[in-house]
Amino acid sequence: MSTFVELVVNGVSMGSVYALIALGFVIIFKATEVVNFAHASLLLAGGYVTAVLHDDLGFLLALGAGIAAAAGAGALVEVLVLRRARVENHAVLAIVTIGVDIVLTTELTRRIGTEVLSLGDPWRDRIVTVAGVSVAETRIAALVTATVLITAFLLAFRHTSWGVAMRAAAEDGETAALMGVRLTRVSLGAWALAGALAAVAALFLTVFPTPGLDRGTSFAAMKAFPAAILGGSTPPPARSPAA
Amino acid sequence: MSDPSPPPDGAPGRAPDRAPGRARTGTPGRAAALAQPLAGLRRPAVLAGAAGFLVLLALPFYLGAFWLQTGLFAMSAAIGAIGLNLLTGATGQLSMGHAFFLAVGAYGYVYLASDSGPHLAGLGLPTPLAFLGAIVLAGAAGGLFSPIAGRLRGTYLGIASLALIFIGQHVLFNAGSLTGGFNGRDVPPLRLPGLAFDDSPGLVLFDVPLGALERLWFLGLALLVPAAWTARGVLRGRPGRALNTIRDREVAAAVMGVPVARYRAGVFVLSSMYAGAAGALLALVFRRTVPEYFGMFLSLDYLAMIVIGGLGTAAGAVAGAVFVSALPQLLTRYGDDLPLVAAPGSGGVSPAEASRILYGAAVVAVVLFLPGGLLGLWSRLRAAATPRRGPRRPVPRLDEEEQPA
């Protein structure tokens, strides 16, 4: 019985991490109708920055820097590439993100090399045992963080003017633009947010049960693609199939 | 060559589709529209094509193994890219599953051609039959997926076809008796009556002994030329117009009587047959098939090829395929002489990484600055050169206008 509970908790926790990735993916898809194949590389960028800086800055600041870096990278992709690509065919835009992904991933995996980087998280390999059920602290942290972030996103999506603008843009871009929604801002915000979520997911993809950030981490991120699809990419709350 | 002008709703014909410009200028009849480019193009183009073909035929007598292998990779990639360009470039249907169909072609050939062994299954068919069978198998696999391919539009198909990669990888690694599992399988060489495509001695032409690579080169040409020719015919004929119209405005296509779902399904099957041929040829060149080669990155490579070369034409696919498949080989070979490229393992940018970065950047740059790809660049250069020839042809400038604003 306790094994079963452990498996469930671990599974739900992993699923919630994938949900973070899938959520970013879906946000971009809904706001801009672009399938973002560069998502894995944004994740890797966030994780890499955190891993490099945590010795000097401490974990929380480094994580913040990682999140900012991934969000910035996402925003840069939007401003420098997607906004300027004068193509109507969204398939071509998806291919452009593949180009971005190839460049970023190649450079990052080259920097990482054969090393396995630690992100300097405070939980390390501690395990909590409650009523005979042992769960790693990292898994609990992942579950809590993901739940908080996803709830916050959903609330903002429902109740803030930013959320309304985004829903309007997702529903019908032209009409929303006529109503005064600035589509460029919506899509910029979507990319930045997706990058930030990916950086958080990078943290929890590389903590305790897994050895750390290595060149294979972006492959793990690819597993979230099926999650986004199975969860249905129509309304933004993509549900994660708990692994 | 001439298309019906696409619906005048601001969805401009994309790069390679040069016809709308001409059609809009009000060229009186179809015959005139056809005669116009032919008069200017026919002789130099045919001559250049024939000369290029002769050069390609002569190359194996001069080139070393490295160049022959690079060329063969490029040829097989070109066949696959032509198929993908029919689907993604001409019809606007994104496919992430191209590597899957390449794998079906490669493993299909191996399975059909190999003899059954203690651990590995095989049908032991005559190899030419196995080659055709591989193409048919890939087509059948595409046919199985085509109900989905016919219903989904653009990027949605891209997401759906991603599933094929995951399924394909799982099967390739785990169906051991069929695929040899992780270690892959040896590929039996193709044997035509009187000619085996392997290193058997005895074939000497013009004092040059022809080994496996030289023989495969001719096989590659014999496959590539009809493949490109067929695709060109499809794209310039009725089906091509239908496909382009579907890409530009689906509703308009349906209104004009194009059975949208059927065309989408059909072009998906056709493109997977091209992939099957490319995969089987690739297997013959590699002489061994390994599963990890047919992963997602291969699909990405093919998408990069058609974007870099130019969407929607056979020539664009060939140009992009040569660029993407030759680049890593060239950088590996000449990396020592280039700045910024270091030997593998020395900490700097290795040739393989440099080539990936280069062509990833090339994809982005092409979409941003060179709509129409390498082929678009070429026709733009030609357009810049043409007016000097004389005052005739007021039309060509419109003809070459790649991207109406």
SS3 letters across chain B: CCCCCCCCCCCCCCCCCCHHHHHHCCCCCHHHHHHHHHHHHHHHHHHHHHHHHHHHHHHHHCCCHHHHHHHHHHHHHHHHHHHHHHHHHHCCCCCCCHHHHHHHHHHHHHHHHCCCCCCCCCCCCCHHHHHHHHHHHHHHHHHHHHHHHHHCCHHHHHHHHHHHHHHHHHHHHHCHHHHCHHHCEECCCCEECCEECCCCCCCEECCEECCHHHHHHHHHHHHHHHHHHHHHHHHHCHHHHHHHHHHHCHHHHHHCCCCHHHHHHHHHHHHHHHHHHHHHHHHHHHCEECHHHHCHHHHHHHHHHHHHHCCCCHHHHHHHHHHHHHHHHHHHHHHHHCCCCCCCCCCCCCHHHHHHHHHHHHHHHHHHHCCCHHHHHHHHHHHHHHHHHCCCCCCHHHHHCCCCC
Task: Flag whether pLDDT at B33 surpasses 60.
Answer: no
Torsions phi, psi of B201, nearest 5? Answer: -75, 170
Shortest CA distance from A35: residue in chain B: B155
Summary mean pLDDT of chain B: 77
- Cα dihedral A84, A160, A234, A103, rounded to 10, equals 40
Task: Show the beta-strand stretches assigned E in A69-225.
Answer: 127-130, 133-136
Separation CA A17–CA A202 (nearest Å): 9
Task: Flag whether pLDDT at B330 surpasses 50.
Answer: yes
| Interchain proximity B349–A226, CB inside 8 Å | no
For chain B, what is the domain count?
1
Query: Is B319 among the domain residues?
Result: no
pLDDT value of residue A74: 92
Query: Is B324 among the domain residues?
Result: no
Q: Which residues contact B216 (CB under 8 A, 6 or more apart)?
A: B72, B197, B281, B284, B285
Rounded to the nearest angstrom, the minimum Cα separation between B241 and chain A is: 17
pLDDT tens-digit readout, A94-111: 888 888 988 888 888 888
| Interchain proximity A85–B360, CB inside 8 Å | no
- Which residues of B sit within 8 Å Cβ distance of A? 11-12, 14, 88, 92-94, 154-155, 158-160, 162-163, 166, 247, 296, 300, 303-304, 307, 311, 347, 349-350, 353, 356-357, 359-364, 367-368, 371, 403
pLDDT value of residue B205: 66
Task: Flag whether pLDDT at B173 surpasses 90.
Answer: no
pLDDT band at A2 (very low <50, low <70, confident <90, very high): confident
Task: Flag whether pLDDT at A72 surpasses 90.
Answer: yes
Contacts of A94 in chain B (CB under 8 A): 94, 155, 158
pLDDT value of residue B2: 41
The reply to whether A123 touches chain B by the CB within 8 Å rule is no
Separation CA B272–CA B108 (nearest Å): 13
| Interchain proximity A233–B94, CB inside 8 Å | no
Query: Is B131 among the domain residues?
Result: yes
Work out the average pLDDT over B119-139.
84
Contacts of B296 in chain A (CB under 8 A): 222
Q: Cα B294–B90–B376 angle (5° rounding)?
A: 95
Among B75-84, B161-170, B207-216, the minimum mean pLDDT is found in: B207-216
Percent of chain A with pLDDT over 90: 9
Q: Give the residue from A79, A98, A107 with the most B CB atoms within 10 Å of its CB, the best one to mutate.
A: A98
Among A188-202, B15-29, B206-220, B390-404, the minimum mean pLDDT is found in: B15-29
pLDDT band at B277 (very low <50, low <70, confident <90, very high): very high
Work out the average pLDDT over B249-277.
88
Cα separation values, B304 from A102, B77, B271, B276, Å: 10, 12, 16, 19
Write the residue in A84, A94, A222 that is nearest to B158 by C-beta: A94
pLDDT band at A67 (very low <50, low <70, confident <90, very high): very high
| Interchain proximity A103–B159, CB inside 8 Å | no
pLDDT value of residue B276: 92
Token reading at B131: 């080659």
- Between the ranges A20-29, A83-92, B25-34, where is the mean pLDDT highest? A20-29
Query: Is B242 among the domain residues?
Result: yes
| Interchain proximity A107–B92, CB inside 8 Å | no
Among A16-20, A220-224, B42-46, B242-246, the minimum mean pLDDT is found in: B42-46
pLDDT value of residue B212: 75
How many CA atoms within 13 Å lie on the side-chain side of B113? 27
Work out the average pLDDT over B214-229.
86
Separation CA A152–CA B348 (nearest Å): 43
Per-residue DSSP letter, A163: H
pLDDT band at B199 (very low <50, low <70, confident <90, very high): low
The reply to whether A135 touches chain B by the CB within 8 Å rule is no
pLDDT value of residue B28: 47
- Cα dihedral A8, A14, A15, A16, rounded to 10, equals 110
Mapping DSSP to helix (H, G, I), strand (E, B) and coil, where does residue A117 land?
strand
Q: Which residues of A25-44 are buried (b: 16+ CB within 10 A; e: fewer)?
A: bbbbbbbbbbbbbbbbbbbb
Token reading at B186: 């040896």
pLDDT band at B117 (very low <50, low <70, confident <90, very high): confident
Shortest CA distance from B310: residue in chain A: A92
Rounded to the nearest angstrom, the minimum Cα separation between A31 and chain B is: 14
* Element holding A235 (H helix, E strand): none
pLDDT band at B272 (very low <50, low <70, confident <90, very high): very high
pLDDT value of residue A211: 75
> What is the domain range of residue B67?
55-293
Among A17-26, A52-61, B39-48, B143-152, the minimum mean pLDDT is found in: B39-48
Contacts of A34 in chain B (CB under 8 A): 155
Work out the average pLDDT over A45-62.
86
Cα separation values, B243 from A85, A89, B235, B268, Å: 23, 14, 8, 11
The reply to whether A87 touches chain B by the CB within 8 Å rule is yes
Looking at residue B383, its amino acid is: A
pLDDT band at B188 (very low <50, low <70, confident <90, very high): confident
Alpha-carbon torsion A142, A146, A147, A152, what sign? Answer: positive
| Interchain proximity A94–B155, CB inside 8 Å | yes
Token reading at A188: 């910029």
| Interchain proximity B367–A85, CB inside 8 Å | yes
| Interchain proximity A95–B363, CB inside 8 Å | yes
Percent of chain B with pLDDT over 90: 7
pLDDT value of residue A195: 92
Torsions phi, psi of B196, nearest 5? Answer: -105, 135
The reply to whether A85 touches chain B by the CB within 8 Å rule is yes
| Interchain proximity B353–A88, CB inside 8 Å | no
Token reading at A136: 């790693």
Q: Give the residue from A101, A104, A110, A222 with the most B CB atoms within 10 Å of its CB, the best one to mutate.
A: A110
The reply to whether A108 touches chain B by the CB within 8 Å rule is no
Token reading at B120: 């590995």
Token reading at A170: 């997702």
Percent of chain B with pLDDT over 70: 77
Cα separation values, A221 from A30, A89, A151, A195, A215, Å: 19, 26, 21, 13, 11
Q: Give the residue from B94, B152, B161, B305 with the most A CB atoms within 10 Å of its CB, the best one to mutate.
A: B94
Work out the average pLDDT over B139-168.
82
Query: Is B405 among the domain residues?
Result: no
CB-based contact B379:B400 (threshold 8 Å): yes
Task: Flag whether pLDDT at B234 surpasses 50.
Answer: yes
Contacts of A81 in chain B (CB under 8 A): 364, 367-368
| Interchain proximity B311–A84, CB inside 8 Å | no
Q: How many CB pairs under 8 A join A and B?
A: 101
* DSSP characters over A16-70: HHHHHHHHHHHHHHHHH----TTHHHHHHHHHHHHHHHHHHH-HHHHHHHHHHHH
CB-based contact A10:A208 (threshold 8 Å): no
Separation CA B55–CA B282 (nearest Å): 22
Taking Cα atoms as reference points, which of B378, B61, B394 lies closest to residue B205? B61
Query: Is B322 among the domain residues?
Result: no
pLDDT value of residue B338: 67
| Interchain proximity B371–A96, CB inside 8 Å | no
| Interchain proximity B363–A99, CB inside 8 Å | yes
Separation CA B69–CA B329 (nearest Å): 9
Taking Cα atoms as reference points, which of B258, B235, B192 lies closest to residue B82? B235
Separation CA B102–CA B278 (nearest Å): 6
Query: Is B379 among the domain residues?
Result: no
- What value of ipTM does the predicted structure carry? 0.79
pLDDT band at A232 (very low <50, low <70, confident <90, very high): low
| Interchain proximity A101–B368, CB inside 8 Å | no
User: Among residues 49-78 of chain A, which lie with CB inside 8 Å of chain B?
Assistant: none
| Interchain proximity A102–B353, CB inside 8 Å | no
Rounded to the nearest angstrom, the minimum Cα separation between B242 and chain A is: 17
Shortest CA distance from A103: residue in chain B: B357
pLDDT tens-digit readout, B77-108: 999 999 998 888 888 888 888 999 999 999 98
Separation CA A82–CA A105 (nearest Å): 18
